[in-house]
C-alpha cells in the first residue's frame, strides 16, 4: 500500500482492532484477582512507516502482534513496553527502544537517487516522569533514547 497518509484499509484495520480490545476489556470480570506472572496472546495489527525520514509518503503492513505480559520483581513487560523501574514507583524507568525503516525504491520525489536499504535501531531509553495529574491523563515526561 502506498499513500500520503494511512490508507483507508489500514485505518479500518486499526479501528477493528481497537473495537475488539474494548469488547475484551468490557467482558473482563469486575472483581480483583491475582494476576499470573506471565501472559501470552496473539493479535493482528498494522505497522505504518514513512518511506524515509521526512517523507510525505507512507507504507502500511499488516503484521501479527504477539502479546506478552511479565510481572516480575525487577522487570516489567506490558502494553507500555519492556522496562526496569529504577527509582520509586514509576518515576524513572529504563525501557527498550526500537525503531526502523523499510526498504525504499525510487519514487517521483527521489528521482535519480539510489534505493534505500532497511534500517533497525535498538537500544535503551531512559524515561523520567516529571509530573502527572491524579488520574495520569495529563503528564510531562523526559525520554532519552540511546540508539
| SS3 annotation, 7-51 | CHHHHHHHHHHHHHHHHHHHCCCCCCCCCCCEEEEEEEEEEEEEC
- β pairing state of 139-145 and 119-132: antiparallel
Mean pLDDT of 38-45: 89
Statement to judge: residues 7 and 76 lie in one domain = no
Q: Which of 19, 49, 66 is the last residue of a domain?
A: 66
- Is 39 found in the same domain as 81? no
Residue 7 belongs to domain spanning: 1-66
Sign of CA dihedral 119, 55, 9, 40: positive
Do 53 and 122 reside in the same domain of the chain?
no
Output the pTM of the full model: 0.47
* Alpha carbons 45 and 4: distance in angstroms, whole number: 20
End position of a domain, from candidates 66, 84, 109 = 66
Residue 110: per-residue pLDDT:
79
For residue range 93-106, list pLDDT tens digits in order: 788 888 888 888 77
Digit-coded pLDDT (tens) for 53-81 = 788 888 888 999 887 788 777 777 776 66
The SS3 assignment for 113 reads: coil
- Site of grid cell 519492556: 82
Query: Which of 49, 66, 83 is where one domain is finished?
Result: 66
- In the chain, what is the straight-line distance between the N-terminal and C-terminal CA atoms, in Å? 29
d(CA 145, CA 75) in angstroms, rounded, equals 18
Which residues, at least 6 apart from 76, have a Cβ–Cβ distance to it below 8 Å? 70, 82, 83, 84, 85
Amino acid at each position: 500500500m502506498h499513500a500520503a497518509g494511512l490508507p483507508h484499509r489500514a485505518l479500518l484495520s486499526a479501528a477493528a482492532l481497537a473495537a475488539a480490545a474494548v469488547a475484551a476489556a468490557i467482558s473482563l470480570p469486575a472483581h480483583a484477582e491475582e494476576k499470573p506472572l506471565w501472559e501470552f496472546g496473539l493479535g493482528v495489527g498494522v505497522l505504518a512507516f514513512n518511506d524515509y525520514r521526512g517523507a510525505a509518503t507512507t507504507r502500511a503492513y499488516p503484521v501479527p502482534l504477539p502479546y506478552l505480559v511479565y510481572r516480575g520483581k525487577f522487570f516489567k513487560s506490558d502494553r507500555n513496553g519492556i522496562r526496569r523501574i529504577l527509582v520509586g514507583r514509576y518515576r524513572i524507568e529504563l525501557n527498550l527502544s526500537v525503531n526502523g525503516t523499510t526498504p525504499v525504491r525510487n519514487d517521483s520525489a527521489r528521482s535519480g537517487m539510489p534505493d534505500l536499504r532497511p534500517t533497525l535501531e535498538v537500544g535503551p531509553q531512559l524515561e523520567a516522569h516529571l509530573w502527572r495529574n491524579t488520574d495520569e491523563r495529563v503528564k510531562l515526561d523526559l525520554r532519552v533514547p540511546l540508539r
